[in-house]
Amino acid sequence: MKILSLCGSIREGSSSGLLLDAFRSVLPVGGEWSSVNLKSLPYFDPACQFSNVPAVVTEIRREAFLADYIAIATPEYAHGIPGILKNALEWLICEETMKKKVVLFVASPSGGEYVLQYLSETLRTMDLLLSAELTMVINNARNQLSADGTIDPGLKNSLIELSQHL
């Protein structure tokens, strides 16, 4: 099983990044995990979507094509999706990335219902496959995860349960 991860927060030690690390730690041994540094992507340019595609975009599309799942963790910014994540998703709109299953994590102290609704619509529009079994909203993630890898036992059990749906 190969998973490509996208983190909607570029802040060092972000809850979204820690959540992806926690999820990776509970996955069965033997899978492949790759991450994308969203800061490396240029701003989306429709003129370059199919010709003159930047090399970094070609590489990310290749990773998405090879992945069985795309794991996304994101905070909620101003009741919406962070711009850096939206930019990455716009670059991924192409035939090679369609019909992938998405594991979605929303980590927001405010609940995250707005970003969940917005992002769900965006992912469905992209023809990515979203399911309730592979979606998790984590309130107060900052209190359940730490940079040293400590995971709240309840959250860890939830992540293990979610991973069994892969």
The three-state (H, E, C) secondary structure of the chain, written as one string? CEEEEEECCCCCCCHHHHHHHHHHHHCCCCCEEEECCHHHCCCCCHHHCCCCCCHHHHHHHHHHHHCCEEEEEECCECCECCHHHHHHHHHCCCHHHCCCEEEEEEECCCCCHHHHHHHHHHHHHCCCECCHHHEEEECCHHHCECCCCCECHHHHHHHHHHHCCC
> Backbone phi, then psi, for 34, in 5-degree steps?
-130, 150
At 28 the pLDDT is 87
Residue 13 contacts residue 75 (beta carbons within 8 Å): no
Mean pLDDT by 10 residues, the chain (166 residues): 96 94 93 93 93 94 93 93 95 78 86 89 90 92 91 96 95
At 25 the pLDDT is 95
At 95 the pLDDT is 67
Residue 130 contacts residue 120 (beta carbons within 8 Å): yes
CATH superfamily of 2-163: Flavodoxin domain (3.40.50.360)
> Backbone phi, then psi, for 130, in 5-degree steps?
-115, 135
At 96 the pLDDT is 67
Query: CA angle at residue 9 from 31 to 94, to 5 degrees?
Result: 65
**Which residues neighbour 147 within 8 Å (Cβ) at sequence distance 6 or greater?**
13, 18
At 31 the pLDDT is 86
At 100 the pLDDT is 83
Per domain, the residue ranges of the chain are 2-163
